[in-house]
Amino acid sequence: MIESEFVPPEIDWLALAPLIVVLGAGVVGVLIEAFVPAKARRATQIVLTLAALAGGFAFVAVLWPQIVAQPVQVLGGSLTLTPFALGAQGIIAVLAFLGVLVVADRTATGQDAFAPTASAVPGTSYEDLARRSGLEQTEIYPLLLFAAGGMMLFASTDDLIVMFIALEVLSLPLYVLCATARRRRLLSQEAAAKYFLLGAFASALFIFGVALIYGFAGTVRLLEIAQRLQQGLPLEGMSVLLVAGVLLVVVGLLFKVGAVPFHAWTPDVYTGAPTPITGFMAACTKVAAVAALVQVLYRVSIGVQAVDPEIMRQLQMVIVVVAVLTMAVGTVVGSVQTDVKRLLAYSSIAHAGFLLVGVAGFNAQVQSSTLFYLIAYGIATIGAFGVVTLVRERRVTPGAGEHNGPVGDDGVVLGEATEIAQWAGLGRKAPWLTAAFALFLLSMAGIPLTAGFIAKFGAFTGATTGGLWWLAVLGVLASVVAVAFYLRLLVVMVFQRAQDDPAEPQVKLAEATPGAAPGEAEVSTSGAVSTGATTGAGATATLTTVQVTTAQRIEVTVVRSRGPAAVAIAVCALATVILGVFPSPVLALVEQASKFVP
Amino acid sequence: MDITNYVVLAAVLFAIGATTVLLRRNAIVVFMGVELMLNATNLAFVTFARMHGDLTGQVLAFFVMVVAAAEVVVGLAIIVTIFRTRRSASVDDVNLLRG
């Protein structure tokens, strides 16, 4: 009889600490939902969430010198902490922290961006009751923590199966979060359904790719795969399995990155999701997905290069073609958008293209610039969506005294004013907010003295060092087109007069009465003002409780933040400037991170 | 029997699942297509595990099953919420967001 003895695995707990803190706090958050009284729940959850993300980042900082000196593999490579992976973890923790600040802000209206009960059917008395009794869904915070933890794991694993699980751990909470908007609930639910169906499809493609790679190489660990391929083909004549597998895995990752032709979900989901969630998702998911993509591509390329340089060349061509398409679609389609959230969504697609330009060079030394790009893009995105949460519509009845506080429906602050036309004259109403937003747009456009310029410079350098100078030229051209569409928004904000400016002769009436004569409704100078309320059945359904009965104006107002969102926007703005003017300390840090292989 | 037959079967099932996702209109059926793709993957994993003579692939199949179950929970919740709102689960009716 064989004496069997239990051998406990050796685990480097310190290396796991950032993940344990974030995911563990998510579990604690679920318990808080069960045990903490409803009144104290929100504050407890926010404190716990912020503390967990700060703690995660602190552990990243503690680990940094050790990992830079010697990368570690925990549990046989399930967690592979290279400086690049750890850097991505740190960036995700910081961006998630800023994102949660925006989520936590209830603004002067005293309402957060989430439905009182997301399960209530829009427009029913149950929903009304939930709203009046002031219910809040504090489950948002544990879900955010799970998503952030999943992203951190996604960016730092070498095992394709762990990567698949991390992909689901980050996606499933995001699908749910997308469906929880307080206003325009049908849009929100629709966004969640689209995101879910396409996301599930993409992860099925990903996992089938993993199965094919496993069939070819007999392992799902990327570094082992590279080793086996270097030693010779495991399955002679079956390299089709390898090619198909790698392609499917890359497609799954490109979907998360939001690259064309796998971008179809991006604008819809970014528009429909609650805006603070959009900011979180746009910034953090992109970091996780790009970091994972870079590591998969580079580790796979080691092996594939050994098997057949021709396959390697084709793989690079695929990335190049996707990068060009992504930049083209992102900038061209983005420039005709009329909705701020949609415009930012296309801008995010364009940025995916610029990131891929840097990746396509397949030059490990310059991949640190990818991390810098992700930082610059992430802070600008969270800041920009934070600003969007504060620009709101408000209903005013003419003659009723506009600032007398809530008399009936008068002065009720509604949802966000996301039409670009509604943003006209914002520069006068809220100069600081406009300045911050302008800064984020300039950074996204890549204007010098902002973080975006240094980032784009690095990405295009990545392409030229990889010998793809023409791709870099295309990237610069796309940037120029992109500048045009950011500037268009800027011009509207700063130089155009507000439509509800009293000095303006034409007064628009947003006619929401169902039986109103169409001629009267035509008084509005443009459809822009009424569109906020009539974007679709979703908006009307949520508005039924505050049904407009007389001709009322809907004006655009800027609500005051209660603090957290203002802090997040200020930090993002400051970081954008500092990274643009004195980038060297951060550049030196990410320089250390250009190491993928332990 | 040649073991590659199983791989071919897995690929065929996967293709049928993908076609279902791309062509069918009902969100539930689309979702079933995704599940079929995941199960095709399981078959491939198990077959390859047999081929390589190691257990990794069989263990991986369990992971895929668990993830599929979690996906069902979230997915059906979202689809049912939409259905209760609109009395329809057709992906063609979900068209407020476009452009």
Residue A125 pLDDT grade (very low, low, confident, very high; cuts 50, 70, 90) = confident
In the prediction, which pLDDT does A551 show? 62
**CA torsion sign, A466 to A469 to A471 to A475?**
positive
Q: Confirm whether B18 is domain-assigned.
A: yes
Q: Does residue B96 belong to any structural domain of this protein?
A: no
In chain A, residues with a C-beta closer than 8 Å to the C-beta of B91 are 193, 197
**Worst-scoring range by mean pLDDT, A226-230, A403-407, B4-8?**
A403-407
Q: CATH code at B54?
A: 1.10.287.3510
Tell me whether B16 touches chain A (CB under 8 Å). no
What does the pLDDT average to over A156-176? 94
Given a contact cutoff of 8 angstroms between Cβ atoms, the answer to whether A580 and A453 are in contact is yes
User: Number of A:B CB contacts under 8 A?
Assistant: 127
Q: B29: distance to nearest CA of chain A, Å?
A: 11
Pick the range with the lowest mean pLDDT from A44-48, A469-473, B10-14.
Answer: A469-473
- Lowest-confidence range among A21-25, A303-307, A335-339? A303-307
Mean pLDDT over residues A235-251, rounded? Answer: 85
Percent of chain A clearing pLDDT 70 (strictly above):
86
**Amino acid letter, B57:** G
Q: Which domain holds residue B52?
A: 4-86
Task: Establish if B98 belongs to a structural domain.
Answer: no
Residue B62 in contact with partner chain A when CB distance is under 8 A = no
For position B99, what pLDDT does the model report?
A: 53
Span A422-434, pLDDT tens digits = 888 888 888 899 9
Q: Does A187 contact B48 at a Cβ distance shorter than 8 Å?
A: no
Judged by CB atoms closer than 8 Å, whether chains meet at B18 and A193 is answered as no
Q: Does B99 touch chain A (CB under 8 A)?
A: yes
What is the pLDDT confidence band of residue A500, given thresholds at 50, 70 and 90? Answer: low
User: What mean pLDDT do residues A31-58 have?
Assistant: 93
Question: Residue A556: helix, strand or coil by DSSP?
Answer: strand
Which one-letter amino acid corresponds to residue A563? G
Position A73 confidence tier, pLDDT thresholds 50, 70, 90: confident
Interatomic CA distance for residues A453 and A451, integer angstroms: 6
**Residue A26, Cβ neighbours under 10 Å: how many?**
24
Give pLDDT tens digits for A277-293: 999 999 999 999 999 99
Verify whether the Cβ–Cβ distance B18 to A201 is below 8 Å: yes
Contact A342 B99 (CB under 8 A): yes
Coil vs helix vs strand at A410: strand
What is the distance between the alpha carbons of residues B27 and B14, in angstroms, rounded to a whole number? 18
Per-chain mean pLDDT for chain A:
83
* pLDDT at position A39: 87
Helix H or strand E segment including A394: strand A391-396
Q: What value of ipTM does the predicted structure carry?
A: 0.93
- Using a 10 angstrom Cβ sphere, with 0-12 exposed, 13-18 middle and 19 or more buried, the burial of residue A407 is exposed
In a domain, residue B93? The reply is: no
Residues 119-178 of A with CB under 8 A from B: 119, 121-122, 161, 164-165, 168, 172, 175-176
User: Please, which pLDDT band fits residue B60 given cuts at 50, 70 and 90?
Assistant: very high
Residues 6+ apart with CB under 8 A from A310: none
Tell me the C-alpha distance between A97 and A113, whole Å: 17
- Under an 8 A CB cutoff, do B27 and A186 touch? no
Instruction: Note if the bond before A261 is cis, omega within 30 degrees.
Output: yes
Cα A48 to Cα A138: distance, rounded to the nearest angstrom: 12
Q: CA-to-CA distance for B55 and B49, rounded, in angstroms?
A: 6
Residue ranges making up the domain that contains A93: 13-392+420-497+561-592
Q: What is the pLDDT of residue B38?
A: 96
Domains: count for chain B: 1
When pLDDT is cut at 50, 70 and 90, the band that residue A17 belongs to is very high
Q: What is the pLDDT of residues A74-99, one digit of tens each?
A: 887 788 888 999 999 999 999 999 99
Mean pLDDT of A284-313: 88
Q: What percent of chain A stands above pLDDT 90?
A: 42
Cα A523 to the chain's mean position, in Å? Answer: 38
- Which tens digit of pLDDT belongs to each residue from A473-493? 999 999 988 888 898 888 888
Q: Which residues of B touch A267 (CB under 8 A)?
A: 97, 99
Instruction: Write the CB contacts of A553 (distance below 8 Å, at least 6 apart in sequence).
Output: A395, A396, A397, A398, A500, A507, A508, A509, A510
Average pLDDT (A53-71) is: 92
| Position A393 pLDDT exceeds 70 | yes
CA distance B41 to B10: 7
Residue of B nearest to A192 (CA): B78
> Which pLDDT band, with edges at 50, 70 and 90, does A550 fall under?
low
Cβ neighbours of A339 in B, within 8 Å? 99
Structure confidence by residue, pLDDT tens digits, A199-234: 999 999 999 999 999 998 888 998 888 888 888 766
Rounded Cα distance between B21 and A205, Å, is 12
Interface residue of B16, B38, B55, B81 to substitute, partner A, most A CBs within 10 Å: B81
Per-residue pLDDT at A458 exceeds 60 = yes
Residues 6+ apart with CB under 8 A from A170: A146, A147, A148, A149, A150, A151, A154, A285, A288
Model confidence at A405, pLDDT cuts 50, 70, 90, reads very low
> pLDDT-derived band of residue B98, with 50, 70 and 90 as boundaries?
low
Which one has a higher pLDDT value, A257 or A111? Answer: A257
Using 50, 70 and 90 to split pLDDT, how confident is the model at A598? low
Average pLDDT over residues A173-193: 90
The pLDDT of residue A173: 95
Q: How far is CA A212 from the centre of its chain?
A: 30
pLDDT at residue A543, as a whole number: 40
- From the list A190, A204, A537, the residue facing B37 with the nearest CB is A204
The confidence score (pLDDT) of residue A495 equals 85
Is pLDDT above 90 for A535? no
Determine, yes or no, domain membership for A428. yes
The amino acid present at A180, given as its one-letter code, is: T
Beta bridge partners of A553: A396
Kindly report, residue by residue over B41-54, the tens digit of the pLDDT. Answer: 999 999 999 988 88
What is the rounded average pLDDT of the residues A452-464?
87
Three-state DSSP at A421 gives helix
pLDDT of residue A547: 43
> Would you tell me the crossing angle of helices A185-217 and A222-231 to the nearest 10 degrees?
30
Confidence of residue A528 (pLDDT cuts 50, 70, 90): very low
- Predicted confidence at residue A553, as pLDDT, reads 74
CA A426 to chain centre: 25
Tally of domains in chain A: 1
For helices A13-35 and A140-154, give the axis angle rounded to 10 degrees.
Answer: 160
Which residues of chain B neighbour A191 with C-beta distances below 8 Å?
97
Comparison of pLDDT for A356 and A7, the residue scoring more: A356
Instruction: Please state, in angstroms and as integers, the Cα–Cα distance from residue A28 to each residue in A23, A92, A143, following that order.
Output: 9, 20, 11
Report yes or no on A184 lying in a domain.
yes
Residue B55 confidence (pLDDT) above 80: yes
pLDDT digits (tens, 9 = 90+) for A330-374: 999 988 888 999 999 999 999 999 999 888 877 766 677 889 999
Q: Is the pLDDT of residue A521 over 60?
A: no
Question: Rounded CA gap, A572 and A539, in Å?
Answer: 31
Please report the pLDDT score of residue A511 as a whole number.
38
Q: Is B41 on the interface with A (CB under 8 A)?
A: yes
